Amino acid sequence: MEVGSTGILSHYDVGVQYTSMSIELSRREAILGLTSLAFAPLGMARAPKANPVGWAVLGLGSYATNQIMPAFEHCSQSKLVALISGHPDKLVRFGDRYGIPATHRYTYDSMDAIRSNPDIDVVYVITPPATHPAFAIRAAGLGKHVCSEKPMAPTVDECRKMIRACSLAGTLLQIGYRCHYEAHNLRAIKACRSGELGKITSMRSDHGFNIGRGQWRTERALAGGGSMMDIGIYSLNALRYLSGEEPVEVVATITNPSDDPRFVDCEDTVDFKLTFPSGLVGHGTSGYSWIPGKNQFEVVGSKGTMVANPATAYGGDTLTIDGRVVAVEANNQWAAQMDHFSECVRSGKKPATPGEEGLTDIRIVQAIYESAKTGEPVRLG
């Protein structure tokens, strides 16, 4: 254990590790700020700062109430101070549970009043993807910094509008790519970029599960697509952050079972190939009908093969190189994500996963859809 940059015992600073390994940082890593992430080990509450950044959670569904809200306890820079929901009963239930006063509970109708609440610095939008743009733009217009869940929005145009709204309002925008703040994934990036695996010759990532019927995730109007938008984005984003490159060409196919009512409006299995400028090829898949599910990536290099399985789970991520487990101290990825953004709010620094990161994924997802439709490779500018 070491004393990290914030002086709190038992957390470590990835930046220190990167620097000590003498890794040459790419421009993208520098932009993503991967050198400055610091986080708390799993299960260990961090000493709260005297003046934490105030967060309002908007949308009190499964992810907000089971992962995000409990993680505030592990934050040192971030505090849950307000709730915004379309369900007044949830405002009472979760407001009481988290000690949020009635003055800090808002419905979608009354949320414009957050403008005059100085306790709220950030609005965290955790609703279905098609609703992210309107809520994000509204929150920015109310003078608040915005964290939006992934996928950022159904279209590139909407992503641009979210970025522009925050820029015009002078507020910051973070996309909730928790894996960029998770210890195993950061260690995997280091293995790829440090030469530890030698020359990378191939990589693949697979994410899928068996989805239930009647969920918004299978409604294109709310989800923006099917498995690719929701779970496939983990495969896509991992191929990008592991390689440190942006693809120049995409080839994809989509397979939908013809007799399954879950897939009348959205896609099931997506198989895509990304060609990167170095010539490296990344292979990704996503699926909504997979039994069992998959959550993994594999990177083959001239000096070793790295496997993460599970790779991007809520807990229990496991990393091996040539079959040997890589020792990684697990951290609370949600607390790390939120504290990082709070630090950015305090300093004005661009977050590690800004709107542009979400926009890039959506641009590639659209190219994947286009390729699957035409049967042709799609070049990316």
Sites of contact with ligand NAD (CB under 6 A): 59-64, 86-87, 126-129, 131, 149-150, 176, 178, 216, 230
Burial class (CB in 10 A: 0-12, 13-18, 19+), 214: exposed
Which residue number, 25 or 222, has a Cβ lying nearer to ligand NAD? 222
What's the Cα-to-Cα distance from 271 to each of 308, 361, 365, 377, rounded to whole Å?
A: 19, 16, 12, 13
CA-based angle 21:356:64, to the nearest 5? Answer: 90
Which residue number, 22 or 62, has a Cβ lying nearer to ligand NAD? 62
Determine the residue with CB nearest ligand NAD.
61
Helix (H, G, I), strand (E, B) or coil at 302: coil
Which residue number, 178 or 340, has a Cβ lying nearer to ligand NAD? 178
Which residue number, 63 or 98, has a Cβ lying nearer to ligand NAD? 63
> CA-to-CA distance for 200 and 36, rounded, in angstroms?
25
How many Å is the Cα radius of gyration of the chain? Answer: 20
Q: How far is the CB of 379 from ligand NAD (least distance, A)?
A: 28
| DSSP classification of residue 331 | B
Q: How far is the CB of 24 from ligand NAD (least distance, A)?
A: 30
Q: How far is the CB of 133 from ligand NAD (least distance, A)?
A: 12
Which residue number, 131 or 171, has a Cβ lying nearer to ligand NAD? 131
Take residue 350 and report the two structure tokens written for it: 């661009």
Take residue 256 and report the two structure tokens written for it: 């939908």
Residues 6 or more apart whose Cβ sits within 8 Å of residue 337: 174, 176, 177, 178, 180, 181, 353
Q: Given its phi and psi angles, is residue 323 left (phi above 0), alpha (psi -120 to 50 degrees) or beta? A: left
Handedness of CA 357, 161, 220, 215 (dihedral sign): positive
Active site residue 150: yes
Q: How far is the CB of 142 from ligand NAD (least distance, A)?
A: 17
Q: Which of 150, 177, 288, 294 is catalytic?
A: 150
Q: How far is the CB of 154 from ligand NAD (least distance, A)?
A: 11
**Which residue, 140, 124, 138, 29, is CA-closest to 67?**
124
Q: Which of 234, 241, 288, 369 is catalytic?
A: 234
> CA-to-CA distance for 175 and 359, rounded, in angstroms?
10
Which residue number, 87 or 283, has a Cβ lying nearer to ligand NAD? 87
CA-based angle 135:137:139, to the nearest 5? Answer: 65
Instruction: Identify whether the C-beta of residue 308 lies closer than 8 Å to the C-beta of residue 296.
Output: yes
Q: How far is the CB of 307 from ligand NAD (least distance, A)?
A: 21
Q: Which residues are catalytic?
A: 150, 234
